[in-house]
C-alpha cells in the first residue's frame, strides 16, 4: 500500500503545462482567451496543466483541414510516399521522446508509469509504423470487359476526419484513429478529452516536425458539448471517429445522419472472462487480475466480469484475491505502483457509487470497496482494488460499465450457461475464454457476441488485431488493414475503347 516514500513523488515539482490549440501547423492561443485547470489525479492540490478553451476555434481548425485536403497541401493527398515518410518519422520521434510522453500520459491519466513506458508509447509508435507501411499499398482493381472497355476501381481519401478521443488511453487511441486516416491521405481535426489533452497537443508538434504539411493535423481542446458537438455537426467534416461512452456514440450517430457523415464508433464494454474448470488456473488467475485492474480498470476492454465454473469457483476466487492483495496502490509516477489514482474525483465518486449499490443489493464484497484516505492517499483519487462475488445477471454491477478497479464474479455450471451469461448485456466489445480443451474454447469464442475474443490470454491487442464492438459497443473497426477502408472512397472509372459500334442503348435516345 501507500508508503511514506511516495511523499517524494508528491512533493516533486512539475512545470504547469500550457496546452494550447494547434491549427494549420501552428500553436495558437484560444480565441476565447480562457483556460481551465487540470489537476494531478494523484494529488488534487496540484495543478499540472492549463487547458485552452478552443470552443470558438473549431471552424478555423476545420477550415485549415479542408484547405489542406482540397488543395492537396504539400502533396499530402497525392503523394503516398510523403505520407509514409511522415508517419515513419513520427514513430521514430515518439520513441526518441518516450520518457516525456510516458510521464505526460501517466501524470494526466493516473495510469502507472510502467504501463505508459512499456506499453502505451511503444504501441502508439507501432500503430504509426503499421499504417505508414500501408500508405503505398492502397490498391484498386481493374478489369477489361468483353467489349474491350476498361473498368477501373480506384480508392481515394474521404476528406476531413474528426477524431474525438477519450481520456483513458490518450496517445494510443488517438494514433489508432488518426494513423489510418493520415495514411489514406485524409486530413484530421482531433478533439482530445478535456482531462487528458496534453498528448494530442504534443503529438501535433511531433507530426509537424516529421514533415506533415500545414493543416494536415489540427488539435482543438475543449469540452465535448462545445468543441465535440461543433465537429460532429460541421458540414465540412466528412467522417467522425469517436471512442467513448455508448450514450454519446448514439448522439453522434443522430447528428451525423443530417449530413450522412461516415461514423466509426468504439463504445463501452462489459467484458466477460470465462474460466472453465479445465483451464490452467494459475495462468488464468494472473491474467484475470491483470485484465480487471490494468489501467486502473478504466478501460472499455477491462475484463470486469469474471464468469467461473462452479466446480472451481471458490478456489479460483481465492487465487484472484491473493493476487489482488499484493497490488500496490500508489502515485502514478512511482515505478513500484501497480494501481494508480483514478483520473478524477468525479470518476472516483462514480465508481464508489457502484460499490455502494453492491452493498445495498446485498452482494458479497470479499476485498476492497473503499476509497483510500490514509496519509497522502487523501490528496488523490485512490481506491482499493475491489472483488465482488455472487453477482447476479440482473445486478447493475453485472450489466453496466463501471470503469474502475472493480471485478464482479458470477458462477456458471456448463458451457451453454457460460455463453448465455457472457451475452447477457447490451455490450459486445471483448471477452476471454480459458480452457485447455481447444475445441471447447473455439466453440465458445464463436458463440460470444463480441468484436474480440481472447483464448487463454487477455488484453493482448496488437495493431494486427481488429478492435471494435458488436451490439451497443460500436460500429466499424479500428486496427488492422481493414481500418483504413473507413477513410477511403471507392470510385469506378469506365473507359470506352472506342473500337466497337455505338452502344445499342444510345439508340433509345438518339434513334
- Domain ranges in the chain? 9-267+473-491, 272-455
493, 478 Cβ separation under 8 angstroms: no
Per residue, the 3-state secondary structure of 173-239, as one string, reads: HHHHHHHHHHHHCCEEEEECCCCCCHHHHHHHHHHHHCCCCCCCEEECCCCHHHHHHHHHHCCCCCE
> Which pTM does this prediction carry?
0.95
Closest CA to 32 of 220, 163, 216, 217: 220
How far out from the chain centre does Cα 255 lie?
A: 21
Name all contacts of 66-71 with Cβ < 8 Å and 24+ positions apart.
66/159, 66/160, 66/187, 66/236, 67/215, 68/24, 68/187, 68/213, 68/214, 68/215, 68/216, 69/157, 69/159, 69/160, 69/186, 69/187, 69/215
Locus of grid cell 457476441: 449
Q: How confident is the model at residue 498 (pLDDT cuts 50, 70, 90)?
A: confident
Distance CA 388, CA 410 (A): 9
∠ at Cα 28 (22, 33), nearest 5°? 120
pLDDT tens digit sequence for 261-288: 999 999 999 999 999 999 999 999 999 9
pLDDT tens digit sequence for 427-467: 999 999 999 999 999 999 999 999 999 999 999 999 999 99
Is CATH 3.40.605.10 what the domain over 9-267+473-491 is classified as, yes or no?
Answer: yes
For 230-270, list the strands marked E by DSSP.
Answer: 239-243, 262-266
Verify whether residue 175 is a known catalytic residue: no
Distance CA 365, CA 349 (A): 18
Name 251's Cβ contacts closer than 8 Å, sequence gap at least 6. none
In this predicted structure, what is the pLDDT of residue 501? 66
Verify whether residue 322 is a known catalytic residue: no
9-267+473-491 and 272-455 have identical folds: no
Strands across the sheet with 430-434, in order? Answer: 364-367, 386-389, 406-412, 305-309, 272-275, 430-434, 452-455
pLDDT tens digit sequence for 361-379: 999 999 999 999 999 999 9
Options 175, 186, 298, 300, the catalytic residue:
300
In this predicted structure, what is the pLDDT of residue 235? 96
| 189 pLDDT more than 50 | yes
| 117 pLDDT more than 90 | yes
Options 266, 298, 401, 411, the catalytic residue:
266
Distance CA 245, CA 266 (A): 8
272-455: CATH architecture = 3-Layer(aba) Sandwich (3.40)
339, 347 Cβ separation under 8 angstroms: no
Amino acid at each position: 500500500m501507500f508508503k511514506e516514500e511516495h511523499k517524494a513523488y508528491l512533493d516533486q515539482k512539475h512545470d504547469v503545462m500550457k496546452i494550447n490549440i494547434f491549427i494549420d501547423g501552428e500553436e495558437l492561443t484560444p480565441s476565447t482567451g480562457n483556460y481551465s485547470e487540470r489537476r494531478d489525479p494523484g494529488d488534487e492540490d496540484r495543478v499540472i496543466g492549463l487547458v485552452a478553451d478552443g470552443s470558438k476555434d473549431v471552424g478555423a481548425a476545420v477550415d485549415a483541414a479542408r484547405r489542406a485536403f482540397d488543395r492537396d497541401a504539400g502533396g499530402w493527398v497525392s503523394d503516398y510516399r510523403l505520407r509514409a515518410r511522415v508517419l515513419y518519422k513520427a514513430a521514430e520521434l515518439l520513441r526518441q521522446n518516450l520518457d516525456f510522453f510516458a510521464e505526460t500520459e501517466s501524470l494526466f491519466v493516473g495510469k502507472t508509469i510502467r504501463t505508459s513506458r512499456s506499453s502505451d508509447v511503444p504501441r502508439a509508435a507501432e500503430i504509426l509504423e503499421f499504417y505508414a507501411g500501408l500508405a503505398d499499398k492502397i490498391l484498386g482493381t481493374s478489369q477489361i470487359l468483353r467489349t474491350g472497355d476498361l473498368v477501373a476501381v480506384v480508392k481515394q481519401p474521404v476528406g476531413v476526419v474528426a477524431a474525438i478521443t477519450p481520456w483513458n488511453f490518450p496517445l494510443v487511441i488517438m494514433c489508432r484513429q488518426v494513423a489510418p486516416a493520415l495514411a489514406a491521405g485524409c486530413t484530421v481535426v482531433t478533439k482530445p478529452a478535456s482531462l487528458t489533452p496534453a498528448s494530442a497537443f504534443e503529438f501535433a508538434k511531433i507530426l509537424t516536425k516529421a514533415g506533415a504539411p500545414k493543416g494536415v493535423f489540427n488539435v482543438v481542446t475543449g469540452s465535448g458539448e462545445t468543441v465535440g458537438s461543433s465537429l460532429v455537426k460541421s458540414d465540412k467534416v466528412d467522417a467522425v471517429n469517436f471512442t467513448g461512452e455508448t450514450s454519446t456514440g448514439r448522439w453522434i450517430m443522430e447528428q451525423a445522419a443530417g449530413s450522412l457523415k461516415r461514423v466509426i464508433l468504439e463504445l463501452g464494454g462489459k467484458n466477460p472472462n470465462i474460466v472453465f474448470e479445465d483451464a490452467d488456473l494459475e495462468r488464468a488467475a494472473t491474467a484475470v487480475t491483470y485484465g480487471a485492474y490494468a489501467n486502473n480498470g478504466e478501460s472499455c476492454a477491462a475484463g470486469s466480469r469474471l464468469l467461473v465454473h462452479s466446480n472451481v469457483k471458490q478456489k479460483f476466487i481465492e487465487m484472484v484475491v491473493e493476487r489482488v492483495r499484493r497490488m500496490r496502490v500508489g502515485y502514478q509516477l512511482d515505478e513500484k505502483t501497480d494501481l494508480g489514482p483514478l483520473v478524477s474525483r468525479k470518476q472516483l465518486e462514480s465508481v464508489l457509487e457502484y460499490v455502494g449499490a453492491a452493498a445495498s443489493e446485498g452482494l458479497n464484497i470479499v476485498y476492497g470497496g473503499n476509497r483510500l484516505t490514509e496519509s497522502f492517499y487523501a490528496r488523490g483519487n485512490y481506491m482499493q482494488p475491489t472483488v465482488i462475488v455472487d453477482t447476479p445477471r440482473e445486478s447493475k454491477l453485472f450489466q453496466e460499465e463501471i470503469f474502475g478497479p472493480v471485478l464482479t464474479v458470477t458462477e456458471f455450471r456448463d458451457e451453454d450457461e457460460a455463453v448465455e451469461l457472457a451475452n447477457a448485456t447490451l455490450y459486445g466489445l471483448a471477452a476471454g475464454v480459458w480452457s485447455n480443451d481447444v475445441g471447447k474454447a473455439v466453440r465458445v469464442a464463436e458463440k460470444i457476441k463480441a468484436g474480440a475474443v481472447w483464448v487463454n490470454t487477455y488484453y493482448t491487442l496488437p495493431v494486427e488485431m481488429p478492435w471494435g464492438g458488436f451490439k451497443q459497443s460500436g460500429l466499424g473497426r479500428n486496427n488492422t488493414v481493414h481500418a483504413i477502408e473507413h477513410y477511403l472512397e471507392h470510385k469506378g472509372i469506365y473507359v470506352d475503347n472506342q473500337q466497337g459500334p455505338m452502344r445499342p442503348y444510345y439508340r433509345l435516345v438518339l434513334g
